[in-house]
Chain A
Amino acid sequence: MGGYVLKRILVTIPTLFGISVVIFFMVRLLPGDIVAVLSGADIGNDPELVAQARENLGLNGSYPEQYWRWISGVVQGDLGDSLRNTQPVSEVLLNALPITFELVFLGLLIAVVVGLPLGVLSAVKRDSRHDYAARVGGLIGVSIPNFWLATLLLLFTSRVFGWVPPLTYVPFYEDPIENLSQFILPAIAISVFTLAIVMRMVRATMLEVLGQDYVRTARAKGVRRKVVISRHALRNALIPVVTVVGFEVGILMGGSAIVEIIFGLPGVGNTLINAIFNRDYPVVQGATLLLAFIFIFANLLVDLLYGVLDPRISQE
């Protein structure tokens, strides 16, 4: 097991390197750079000054040169400084990460807490009205654009309740109520898609399990329905849920960007997208690496958990 983990971790390193190269070059292919962004439309510019400005920011030299400078810093733990305000990229990301993390955590929490029981209900009452309602609801859930849902939620609460979420980010440990009231709407917005998937997966897996021989045997032996559901079926249903959640963690860390933008949460996705528009290369590179790392790490965790939850797999 230990060897397997080590092997998996080692394999991620070339992937991360590959990503660093890809994002480094791709972002430089975007037209304009930060000097252009900042000085562009309204101030006439002396080409000498512009060249000097570029040099001051480290944008001179060939791309491989620049890449080497950057990547040698990264392996030593230095992600560089933002071109826009000289703040160290690691600081920028450290400020943004807890926000996105909390958002994703809350979103997935809602998705599982609501989706799991709904899925079970749907499986147990197969083909009833509840089941159909849940299936249709599930399909609707994966069809709603989350940025639209976010907008609708804002509209709804402000019009119907006259309430808007608080504007300033307050960490959870400082003021839990304020913090949660800021996160509740965006968390709901991003939870819906995962909720729908969780519900469908649980339903499908439970149906599969419930139809299997050992369950029928247990039933025939007189074991109560509830016990069978909880002990056998649920445990097996958890496996795909874990897969989905683990997978979604990786996806949502980046995918919640638009919701973050709508609610004004300065999380990683929001920061990353702004950095792209601002051509703030170090931040783009650093944030992308971070997201990729989290995605890979989350998948790795899921693989490991998979092995734990499903004894059949770890034996291979």
Chain B
Amino acid sequence: MTELPPTPSHTVGPFYGYALPFPGGGDLAPPGRPDTITVHGYVYDGAGEPVPDALIELWQSGPDGSRAGAPGSMRRDPVTGGFLGRNGVDFTGFGRIATDPDGHWTARTLPPGGPGAPYISVCVHARGLLHHLFTRVYFPGNAAANAADPLLASLDPVRRETLVATAGPQPGSYRFDIRLQGDKETVFLEFT
């Protein structure tokens, strides 16, 4: 059958900051969950400079591998028109974080589940980026599963390294830098 031609992408531009980020956007984990992990990193441009106007979106399965998600990432307050924050119980699987002036972002979330090597899907938006980019955060503790992952296995070791977070500095925290261009450029994905 004839497919409809798609609507073209455009850059998110410089002024999304009062529209897209929402309070608690990086706090995917319901408070008090002992298995909460911190995933954080910097976004760099081709000159190695931090990108202070990038928007990072995360989408992942729950620890049980469920990809059903849940509504309520950006609950609205019908009284004030502001945001209520997440309900503190549901795991929506979705996060959205604007990089700070240092180009840094942080998410507190639950570890994704299988089957296969667990990963968090990342969608990168930025001023200057005409079409968003997809990448993935894999975790260093899953060596055997990572080795069997079709995507990771298809990459040469230097490129593969860009998709695997490094543990630290605190227990349960993982650093994942995104390099848009140049040395150690992050592997970006297309889905066909």
State whether these chains interact.
Answer: no
